[in-house]
Amino acid sequence: MKPSLKHFFDSMDAYLAGPPGAEGLLKLSASHPGWNVDPERMALYGQFVRGHVRSTLEKLFPLTRKALTPEAWDTLVDGYTRTRPARHYELNRLGEGFAPFVADAATPTGLPPFLPALARFEWTDFAVFASEEDLPDAVDRLTPNPTLMVLEQPYRLCAFVRSRGAEAAPVEGEELALLWRHPERLVTFYMEATPPALLVLKMAVEGLSEEAVVQATGMSAQDVHAEVVRFAKDGLVLLPARQV
């Protein structure tokens, strides 16, 4: 290996193994004459990154942003940008750590108490939409939607999100929220868990037949089948074609 090439790889190894930030880049350029780093260009790249983080957060967390004053939102975004460097090539992944950050920041900065739960809900909404779980084209028995995620939260966020934050704050109260991606419409569906929904999910998870549920619950066969078909239509469960 030529000395110049070895020097290149050695310096790059030291750079990649070192701490992130501009300081390491400046040291790297200093070891290679002609690789002068223009401070104004570096500042421009920094502005690009900050702008990408801000626009991504505003897209992923519109209701979290709406719940704050512009000044409070700016403070939150600036703090997140400083302490959670953007590292992933996929821009939407920049928001992955935002909900935990909001939870850590809520008490000391006097943010609304519901904000951590709301940010978590909004991120889960996107995570379900972007889920890489395979949705089978066909199933041979009642099956839970593989993109399903469950959130336990101390606010009634399903109604709040559905209204697009029409009220100033969500109603307090324990809620079990179900979120999943519809297999045909490819959008996130969500709802507060209800006894019928939980019953149909139990049937799918445990492999219970409609006949067994009729015997165990005293429901009519027609009502049980209607609930199964209803939640299959919504995509919460997947149903064999012959049973639709």
Tell me, what's the pLDDT at 104? 92
Nearest of 89, 100, 148, 153 to residue 123 by alpha carbon: 100
pTM assigned to the model: 0.81
Ranges of residues in the chain whose predicted pLDDT is under 50: none
d(CA 93, CA 97): 8
d(CA 169, CA 19): 41
User: CB burial class (10 A; 0-12, 13-18, 19+) of residue 25?
Assistant: middle
Tell me, what's the pLDDT at 234? 97
The CATH topology of domain 49-130 is DNA polymerase; domain 1 (1.10.150)
Tell me, what's the pLDDT at 48? 63
User: Given the structure tokens 């029409």, which residue do they identify?
Assistant: 166
Tell me, what's the pLDDT at 139? 93
- How many other C-beta atoms can be found within 10 angstroms of the C-beta atom of residue 37? 13
Nearest of 29, 74, 23, 22 to residue 45 by alpha carbon: 22
Tell whether domain 133-244 is in CATH 3.90.930.50.
yes
Q: Give the Å distances, CA to CA, from 170 to 67, 113, 161, 192.
A: 10, 10, 9, 14
Tell me, what's the pLDDT at 14? 74
